[in-house]
Chain A
Amino acid sequence: MTASKSAPAKGSGAPMVKAEGVHKSFGTAHILKGIDLEVAPKEVFCLIGPSGSGKSTFLRCINHLEKINAGRLSVDGELVGYREQNGKLYELRDREVAARRRDIGMVFQRFNLFPHMTAVENIMEAPVQVKGESRASARERATKLLDRVGLKDKAGNYPSQLSGGQQQRVAIARALAMEPKLMLFDEPTSALDPELVGDVLDVMKDLAADGMTMVVVTHEMGFAREVGDSLVFMDDGVVVESGHPREVLGNPRHERTKSFLSKVL
């Protein structure tokens, strides 16, 4: 099935993410059964679907946390996990994989902040350790990022001293500190208490307004409708339906989409 994205709402040119016939299995479990899609630069691309449909797995393939078994997956024109030379694929070394991941930020469902570091240290860690930025300049930028996500006064707090919503906003700031060209969100609000969801979504909306390319696995249909430029409904490892969020959510064509939406909306 092809996700025919006729006209991206924003941006243009080469796709930021391009998937062609992507397959992934864990042992005998066939999770992704041929995913084709394109994410344009500056686009907010939402992935929805029932749990187990493979949307998180696909997201994790984009920055090579999972290895795909078949098909082609590229980010900003570069193959994920491989180098192509004279028509042959060469697996990338760990170092090269790490280098490509620098440009892709990821936000996890369970935050995954480093518990032994304060909020500001969490944000400084990668710029200092990976990019070799000076601690002073990293700290300055980290403080600004904390301000941007509304947590200026929490710089010295450890993650365990922050609420879930605050932790997730620190996690977003941590990803942004690497100045990525693409941000991946893996159900960023699913582990949060309902009253904390809004703060995180506000930060994400802000980011979208700034023109960040975002791939968002989410159950927040309101966010998808309001902020999303395109939306894909996945089920059982395939793309069932895709299009503009308002269109897919408001007027689903496929039976499976209809039955899923009737349960979550």
Chain B
Amino acid sequence: MSVDVEKSDRSPAGTPSPPESIKAIPVRHYGRWVAALVVLGVIAALVRAFASGNVNWGAIPEYLFNADILKGLRNTLLITVLSMVIGIVLGVILAVMRQSNNRVTSSVSWFYIWFFRGTPVYVQLFLWFNLGLVFQYIDIMPIYKDEWSDFMTPFLCALLGLGLNEAAYMAEICRAGLNAVDEGQTEAAHALGMSHAKTLRRIVVPQAMRVIVPPTGNEVINMLKTSSLVIAVQYYDLLQAAQNVGRDSGVVVEMLILAAAWYLIATTVLSIGQYYLERYYARGASRQLPPTPLQRAKAKLAGSFHRAGGAA
């Protein structure tokens, strides 16, 4: 009954009087002000310390696009992408092997993951570098024969070291993703007469991707930074380039800050890519996809125009 009364109260359409908003004195949050001041003070002190420190800030923009630095950056990106490709492909294979009914393949996969996840990647890189102690020649009979030390270039060391290590992590991520898909999905696909392979490809994997993509994005970002370890195998990456340039030009710290800046730029670009990829695989999972930052900005702009128009 009371609902009806309220409704009839509001319904007379002739009187468009919006309800008067409440006027009250808001609670003052003094604590927030104090905390903000303290934090700003600390930041200001840090900025001041760095600005007045013995750092030649001018050298950073000067060397930002230095040819050696750019070459290092290119190599870093290259090794990141290729290692991730190896990691993902091998990871998927290992994940499928791990789940197979064949005891041998599942044990091999388990052992691989156990070894490569259980030892530091830095140590693995050194091992690849020194594998020449075990194999003196590489001899793929009819195709290729060479001395191991010539075959195992720093690039290949870095690629194998990072890629094979990454595969162990990707295998676990993929396995978790495949397991996350409801069994009812497989049953429904089988009941429709779809084969195992088709069920995996059309039904299970697309849904597993929603679980796999976010941690894989993190892995890419991680890989970009971990790739700085390839200095162990003397691969010429961004960090190596920065150190070389710094040593030659007497701006060691400056070049380290510059390298950090490049790493930040690269990870930022990757994060943006990851956002859109996640959004793509979220389709169907949530009722409404969240707007992209671009759409949000447009909506905001349109909204402010509206308001301006209303005021005029």
Contacts and interface: CB of A to CB of B under 8 A. Distances in A.
A113 B283 CA distance: 14
Contact of B283 (A94, A112, A158, A175): A158
B191 A106 contact: yes
A126 B184 contact: no
A42 to B, nearest CB: 21
Interface centre among A95, A113, A114, A158 (most CB of B within 10 A): A114
Interface in B179-194: 182, 184-185, 187-194
B198 interface: yes
Nearest to B181: A115
Interface in A106-134: 106, 108, 110, 112-118, 125-126, 129-130
Given A98-B195, A129-B194, A65 B285 contact: no
Nearest to A160: B287
A161 interface: yes
Contacts, number: 75
B191 A116 contact: no
Chain A at the B interface: SS class: mixed
Interface in B199-221: 202-203, 206-207
A126 B184 CA distance: 16
A95 B185 contact: no
Contact of A104 (B191, B195, B207, B283): B191
Contacts of B203: 114
A174 interface: yes
B188 A114 contact: yes
A158 B284 contact: yes
A117 B284 contact: yes
B184 A98 contact: no
A214 to B, nearest CB: 15
A116 B207 contact: yes
Given A116-B285, A129-B198, A160-B286, A178 B185 contact: no
Interface residues of B, number: 23
Contacts of A160: 284-287
Contact of A130 (B185, B193, B196): B193
Contacts of B285: 115-116, 160
Contacts of B191: 63, 65, 101, 104-106, 175
A178 B193 contact: yes
A102 interface: yes
A118 B287 CA distance: 12
Interface string B281-296: 0011111000000000
Contacts of A159: 284
Nearest to B201: A129
A158 B193 CA distance: 22
Contact of B207 (A98, A105, A106, A115): A115
A65 B187 CA distance: 7
A14 interface: no
B61 to A, nearest CB: 47
Chain B at the A interface: SS class: helix
Interface in B205-242: 206-207
Contacts of A100: 193
A178 B195 CA distance: 15
A70 interface: no
A116 B206 contact: yes
A175 B193 CA distance: 10
A102 B188 CA distance: 12
B286 to A, nearest CB: 7
Contacts of A209: none
A94 B284 CA distance: 30
Contacts of A116: 206-207, 283-285
A154 B286 CA distance: 17
A99 interface: yes
A126 B198 CA distance: 10
Interface centre among A98, A106, A125, A160 (most CB of B within 10 A): A98
A117 B182 CA distance: 15
Contacts of B194: 98, 126, 129-130
B193 A98 contact: yes
Contacts of A171: 188
Nearest to B288: A161
A130 B284 contact: no
Contact of B192 (A101, A110, A115, A117): A101
B35 to A, nearest CB: 41
A169 B76 CA distance: 53
Contact of B195 (A94, A112, A114): A94
B185 A114 contact: yes
A158 B187 CA distance: 20
Given A114-B207, A160-B287, 12 more contacts: A98-B190, A99-B193, A110-B184, A112-B185, A116-B283, A116-B285, A126-B192, A126-B194, A129-B202, A158-B283, A158-B284, A161-B287
Interface of A: 63, 65, 94-95, 98-102, 104-106, 108, 110, 112-118, 125-126, 129-130, 158-161, 171, 174-175, 178
Q: Which 4 residue pairs spanning A and B have beta carbons closest together?
A: A102-B193, A112-B188, A126-B192, A106-B191
